[in-house]
Structures are given as C-alpha cells and as structure tokens.
Structure 1
C-alpha cells in the first residue's frame, strides 16, 4: 500500500498534465493564422502605443467555455447523486450514520435536549486561552461543559484555565499531538453520552461568534439525522499584507460554502460540533471500513485530522452542514515561514488522506478538487512563463485588447468575491498582481507537498498500528503533542505492533494515554466499551471526573443544573 499512497500526488499531477496537453493539441490542431505587425496609436494625444487586436478563434473560445461548463456540471451532478445515495442508504452495516438509518433507529425515541461539551486542545496557549474561554461564556446558548485538554504545557495555560472555572484534563504520556490528546479526552467523555449529547472541538486560538452554539443547537434539534455542524472561519486582524492575503482567501472560501448552502468541504478544526453517536461510530469502524486504530476517534497518523475525520464521517453516510450563522475568527499566520509550514501540512495531509481512503464515493469531490488545483498549477505557471518569454523576446510593449478584457473580468471577480471583507480586501483584490503572487506561492507549496509525499515522504500508516507509535512531526500549526521521545518510541514498537495486529480487533488504547508506564513500550489494550443504552429504564450518567487520575481537575462552574439528558419513550 505504500507505493499507492506515495503515488497519489504524481497521479493527480499526471492527470492534470494530460488534460492540459490534450487542450493544447486541440487548439493547435487548427490552422494557425499568420501573425500581423502590431498597429500604432496615440492615447490622449501624448502616449504612443502599439496594440494587436488578435484574439483566439471563436470555435476555440466556445470549446474552452463548453468544456469548463461540462466539467463543472458533471462534478456537481455526480456529487449530488453520491449525496442522495448516501442519504437514502438503509444499510446500517456499511453506512451506520446514513439519515435513513438514523431516522429509523430513533423513531419514537426522545433523547432529551441537545447538550454541548466543548473540548479545547491546548499546548502553551496562555496568550489566547482566556479570550477563547470568554467567547464561550458569552454564547447566547452557553455549553454545558468546557474541558481544556492540556498537552505538555510548560506555560500558564493550565492555571489560567482553572482560574476561568473550567475543567482541565492533562494528557498522560501522549506522543501523538493534537489527535492523541483529543482521543484521550474522548475516551473519557463519550461512553456516558447519548444521541443528543454533542461534542464541540475548537482550537485554543479561536473566538466564536456569540450565536454559534445557539445556531448549532437549533440545527441539531430540528434534524436528528444531522451528525455534525461545522463553522465558517474568518481570519483575525493583523499580520500586515500576508494577513490580508489569508483573510481574502478565507472570505472567498466562506462565500463558496454559502453558495453551496452549507454543504461541507471540511469540518474545520477551528470549531465543529459532532453528535456523540457519530464519533462513536467512527471509533467502532476504525481498522475495518476506516483507517486507524480501533477505538480511536481521530486517526493519529493523519497530518490533517479534521480533513480525515470529515472523510471518515462521509464514508459512513453522515449528514453534515456548515451554516451561515456559525462563524468563528481564527488567527492568521504572521510570517511567510509559518504560512509555508501550515499550508505544506494541509496540502500534504490532504493528499495522504486520499491515498489512505482511495477512490470511493465519499472522496470523489476531493479528488476532483485536487485535479483542479493541479491543473491550476500548470495553467498559472504556463501563463507566467509566457509573460516572461514575451518580455525577453520583444523590445516593444504591445497591448492586446482581448486579453486586457479577460484580465478586467478576472479583476472584477477578485473584488466581488471579497466584497464582504471590507475596503482593504477590495483594494488588494483590485491590485490583482499581488494576489497572483500569493497564488503562485500556494502553487509552489502544492508542488513541494507532492514532491515530499512521492520521494521523501514518511511511510504511510497502516490499518493497524501500536498505541505507542509516534510520528514526531513538528510544524508551525501544531497545537498539541510532540513528545521528544516520539520518534524513538516509533522505532522501538514497530515490530511489536506487527505481532499484536491479529488480536487487536474490537479493542482500544488505554484511556490514560495508550502506554502503561510500568510496562515500558508495550501497548496496553482494553475491551471496547459497549455504547450506552438510551431507553426509558436506563439513564446514562456522565463520567465522574472526580474519580479520575490527578491529571483531571474540575472547575467550580463546569456543570449546570439540569444538564443531564433524560430519555423517555414516546
């Protein structure tokens, strides 16, 4: 399987290159017109200019527009067909989260009001944790519980969180960064949750809009088949020009989501709400229909855990949405170095996830998106190369009215799509060339991600791996994890992990962190907990964190009266 995953980037670039070649051959098949000398004119009676009115033949323009429309329509129609099939699926074994399956299983059952438990993975976030917690307290519908998942913090993150009156869970022997920390927290909170109990995962550097949770709760209450609600994220202020580049990018992305009526590309890691039922289903399917360790919600091998979890939920038929009323503000990368590291991680993670899942209905949109990016890299690179060659080969500046018109249309699109971002966003879009530079930067990141994955990539994760395995990666965007002994642990347990794969079925790592300190690197496994029953005779209780190890501390204001869900039969 390693060669399959490492060839994903090459397959995408190769397919995009083949498409570009076919387009070039189709254009070149016609008889080229003989070039004419540029005409000369005078502008405002002062400036002498040379211009050329040549333009592509109408048949070429019509063919290009027709192909683009057909491709866009084909992708949209196929995506809609996939979504419709998933929603109508009645196979609980293959798609346990399909709306039809969920509606049938919950018909006539009242699972109580929707409750929200917030998990905030944090590593040395003393500079922003207070503001994040304040935004949660200011919600028009405040959460029932707030838990800060502190991982290897060496600053004042933990005391600041306790002073704010929230629960703090400090991870134990975690070497798997953010995903590992969240898995430890979820192993504690999920067993006592029912169908209407939800978990919100949000970054420690994110500020919620005051109506975020109210909007999410309303959506989840109105549709019991809805499994997740994602946020629409916008970039925070500051960081100068590079910050504005990112704010423009995020504004366009949110505009695209709104035009799709909230249909999800990726459940953003900045802030997303999940039903406990959905997360339990993912944990149960790991190692069978989904990659990862059985019992883990997050795949600790994935570089981009939010993207991987989105694909996992879609593979199980989950219905998800990112509504316009659920908005968040997140930090932007302040330097080009940090932005490079972040985007390289995102791009490479997306390609690795496609390699892990392969070509299946739930990944069709992502494959099409990556093909579009690959073709865009070729198209923009070819355009810039042609401009440079023209500047070198000619000694006179020649204006082409047709292409100036195309550029004006493109400029208008750049401005309109960031209009809601304010005057700075519009001014940057109007300038055009700076954003072309930014697009070129992102294209270079894409090529670097393909190169790293194909020739210098790490060995991809298998369907089964040891709970003690660590990847030891460090990027500017990481918030949790990165234990110094991670890589050595990975080497030490690799052979042992192979031997235990046969008897790992239906088991999960130790809730305290995957390693028993008394047993060194030997993985400690326990039986997979059975999902809590929700009927009129049985009311599940929330886990008693006061009986947990000393790494868990409960603040005075973490549980509101009446936050337990009551289940009755209708």
Structure 2
C-alpha cells in the first residue's frame, strides 16, 4: 500500500486536493494520509506576457530506500538550486520506498513533499512511477535523482538549459563525481568515473543511458512511453530502469545526452563486495534489455559494444594462456620497444583522466603511476561482466 503526505501545511488533510485523474490512467494504489509535512503549495504556472520568455516548470522526484544518512544533504542541495527567471522548480518530492529507517521523518523537516510506499514490489521504478503520477504530470520537465546524490547549485539550470536548447532531446543526465570517501574501492571508482566522463566528452556527450544518479526528462516523452505501456514510464520488471527508459525514448526518436555543464556528487559502493553486486545488476540488466528488444536502432550500438567486449575478453584470456604456456615450456621471451607504445598511450590516458578528478591527492597519482592496481580492478570488472553474461544466457534469475 502506498501513502502520501500533504504538501501545504495551511490546508487541512480533509480538504487537500489530489491531482485530477486522466483518461486511461492506471489504478493508483490507495493513498493513506499520515502526518502533514511543512511544504509549500505548488503555484499555478503564470501565463507569460506577450513577448516574454515562457516559464519552464520542473518537478524533482527522489526515490529513497533507507537513506537516512544522506537524504538531508540531497534535499538541501535541491533547495539551494539557483535557477533563472524562466525556470521554476514547482516541487521536490521524496518517495520513501519500503523504508525501515528515518528517511521520511528526516525529509519532512524540509519544505518538500513526502510520499511513503510501505509495500512496493517494483522498488525504485515503482517509487518513480508513483511520484510521477501523483505530483509531476503537469510539469514540463521531470528531474529524477538518487537519494545519495548531491547537486551543485547550478545543476538544474544547466540540465534545463540543455533541454530547452534542443527540442529532440528526450532526456539529459548529469556528469557525476564520487562524493568524498576513503578506501581503495572508493578511490578506484572515483578514477573510473573520471575516465568515463572523458569518454563521454570524446563522444560529443552522447550517452548509452540517462544515468539514474541525476536525469532530467521531457514530460511529453514520458507521457508517450506511459501511453504505450501500462501507464507507467519506468519498467518495474527491469533491473536497471534508467537504461530501460532510455531505450524506450530512443525507440521513439528521442535523443539522450549528458549535460556538459551539470555536475553532481554521488556515493559509490564502499566495498568491493558491494561493487560486485552493483555491477552484476548493471551488466545483467543491460544484457536483458538488449535481448528483450533485439537488434534495433535503439540497441545496435550497445549490442556491438557487448560483442566487442566479448572479443576483448577472449583475446585477453588467449594472451594469458600463451604467457602461461611459454613459462611452462621455457620458451624464451623477446622484447621489442615498439610493444611499449600501447602501454605508454594507456598510461598517458589514465594520467590525464586522473588530473581532472576533483581534489585529487598523492594516492590517486600513485595508483595511476603503478598501473598494476588499476589493471587488477579492470580484470575484476570484466569478470563481473562475464558472470552477468553467463547468467543472462542461462536465464538465471537476478534480483536487486
């Protein structure tokens, strides 16, 4: 059962207005009102005067599952957004999703809307769908973000500017950095994020997925997806709902990109065990979505990437096997200086990526300089992807 809390402290619970149901809307779970929250009522969009710039409205959805440690920083980052006159944030909505901690209680301390879902089988996708149906269908743009992510003050404005400047964009995502942390797993992921950011730069900010850490959608595009499905833009059966929605948008002719000027800080997994679980879900979810849709304009680039990854793993295993056989049979090694050129190029690429990491330190420089540690981490991620592929091909059940 899902429950929601009121938006306006000045309106008694018995007289609060709910969004009008539209034709074709699916049944919305019964809503049970809890204690009221201190949040401003959503103002009606003002009609621009003749010759004035139209106002673009944004509603923010924050699905949160047991995020009491970080929800305050996330909400404070949203409330501190600096937006131009032609942009208006009409609501910040925290969807407390199957929470067993104080996430909802902490969120209620701020002027935001809090919706509680006590029994949500669809996890994050279900929370996003519920929040969208209840609060966001009248907005021009919808920003979704993880509850462990913090926006820089100009992030919403930068993402909205990208959307306003390109009518074919159905979604944009932010560029993300790792929040301050400690430990080898955190440091390696921080370097990985910087390297991935460089790759998006080389691709002209085109992306395969509008990352769920922070993504802004054109509401008209979400309505299209919802109309062709069960009235919900996000697929509750998908392991990675952000990638599934990205493919749905691409299949309808929308483009997806990263907003160059939008930056966020997101919290990576703190242990290698947690990294393994996360990447296994990402890998399995991506392969499932491609198999589900087959070869199409929306999936072909990703399918080719999986094929190239398979060849890369094959040749890496072949190389290791060759080295092992040479050692076993005492075959003499011969070295050629030209063989060091690829290694030098790889090292230079890693150094330049590391140099763009915010607040880099000596340990970051040492990790890149040694090379070996990052290579072992790369093998770890490749092994995770191989396991995900095997489970996908064997139809092994994968869950959150």
Q: TM-score range by the shorter chain?
A: 0.7 to 0.9
User: Match of 1:300, SS?
Assistant: coil
Decide whether the 8 Å contact of 2:65 with 2:98 is kept in 1.
Answer: yes
Q: Does 1:140 align with 2:82?
A: yes
Decide whether the 8 Å contact of 1:239 with 1:333 is kept in 2.
Answer: no
Taking a change above 3 Å as real, the CA distance of residues 109 and 124 of structure 1, as seen in their structure-2 partners, is: farther
Deviation at 1:382, TM superposition (A): 2.3
Residues 238-317 of structure 1: matches in 2 within 5 Å? 238-286=181-229, 294-317=230-253
In structure 1, runs of 5+ residues without a counterpart are 1-107, 287-293, 459-470, 475-570
Decide whether the 8 Å contact of 2:368 with 2:374 is kept in 1.
Answer: yes
In structure 2, runs of 5+ residues without a counterpart are 1-49
Output the CA distance in 1 between the equivalents of 2:167 and 2:345. Answer: 44
Decide whether the 8 Å contact of 2:326 with 2:332 is kept in 1.
Answer: no
Decide whether the 8 Å contact of 2:117 with 2:127 is kept in 1.
Answer: yes
TM-align CA RMSD = 2.3
* Number of aligned residues: 344
Output the CA distance in 2 between the equivalents of 1:249 and 1:157. Answer: 30
Q: Which residue number in structure 2 is paired with residue 184 of structure 1?
A: 130
Decide whether the 8 Å contact of 1:412 with 1:430 is kept in 2.
Answer: no
1:359 is matched with which residue: 271, 291, 295? 295
Decide whether the 8 Å contact of 2:171 with 2:216 is kept in 1.
Answer: yes
Decide whether the 8 Å contact of 1:419 with 1:425 is kept in 2.
Answer: no
Deviation at 1:395, TM superposition (A): 8.6
Post-superposition Cα deviations, 1:462-516, rounded to whole Å, max 9, x if no partner, equal xxxxxxxxx9x33xxxxxxxxxxxxxxxxxxxxxxxxxxxxxxxxxxxxxxxxxx
Output the CA distance in 2 between the equivalents of 1:233 and 1:392. Answer: 46
Q: Which residue number in structure 2 is paired with residue 345 of structure 1?
A: 281
Output the CA distance in 2 between the equivalents of 1:283 and 1:299. Answer: 10
Moved more, 298-307 or 390-399: 390-399
Post-superposition Cα deviations, 1:56-100, rounded to whole Å, max 9, x if no partner, equal xxxxxxxxxxxxxxxxxxxxxxxxxxxxxxxxxxxxxxxxxxxxx
Residues 90-489 of structure 1: matches in 2 within 5 Å? 112-141=54-83, 143-171=89-117, 173-193=119-139, 197-286=140-229, 294-394=230-330, 399-421=335-357, 422-423=360-361, 424-458=363-397, 473-474=399-400
Decide whether the 8 Å contact of 1:262 with 1:324 is kept in 2.
Answer: yes
Deviation at 1:237, TM superposition (A): 2.6
Taking a change above 3 Å as real, the CA distance of residues 434 and 383 of structure 1, as seen in their structure-2 partners, is: farther
User: Match of 2:209, SS?
Assistant: coil
Post-superposition Cα deviations, 1:170-203, rounded to whole Å, max 9, x if no partner, equal 125311111111111112234434xxx1111000
User: Match of 1:323, SS?
Assistant: strand
Deviation at 1:223, TM superposition (A): 3.5
Deviation at 1:280, TM superposition (A): 0.5
Deviation at 1:251, TM superposition (A): 0.8
User: Match of 2:238, SS?
Assistant: coil
Output the CA distance in 2 between the equivalents of 1:324 and 1:191. Answer: 27
Deviation at 1:452, TM superposition (A): 1.1
User: Match of 2:299, SS?
Assistant: helix
Taking a change above 3 Å as real, the CA distance of residues 407 and 333 of structure 1, as seen in their structure-2 partners, is: same
Output the CA distance in 1 between the equivalents of 2:221 and 2:286. Answer: 22
Post-superposition Cα deviations, 1:111-145, rounded to whole Å, max 9, x if no partner, equal 94111111100011000000111111221127321
TM-score (norm 2): 0.80
Post-superposition Cα deviations, 1:101-120, rounded to whole Å, max 9, x if no partner, equal xxxxxxx9999411111110
Output the CA distance in 1 between the equivalents of 2:308 and 2:251. Answer: 22
Deviation at 1:167, TM superposition (A): 0.7
Output the CA distance in 1 between the equivalents of 2:182 and 2:166. Answer: 40
TM-score (norm 1): 0.57
Q: Which residue number in structure 1 is paired with residue 29 of structure 2?
A: none
Output the CA distance in 2 between the equivalents of 1:192 and 1:410. Answer: 48
Decide whether the 8 Å contact of 2:59 with 2:136 is kept in 1.
Answer: no
Output the CA distance in 2 between the equivalents of 1:109 and 1:272. Answer: 31
Taking a change above 3 Å as real, the CA distance of residues 411 and 192 of structure 1, as seen in their structure-2 partners, is: closer
Decide whether the 8 Å contact of 2:209 with 2:256 is kept in 1.
Answer: no
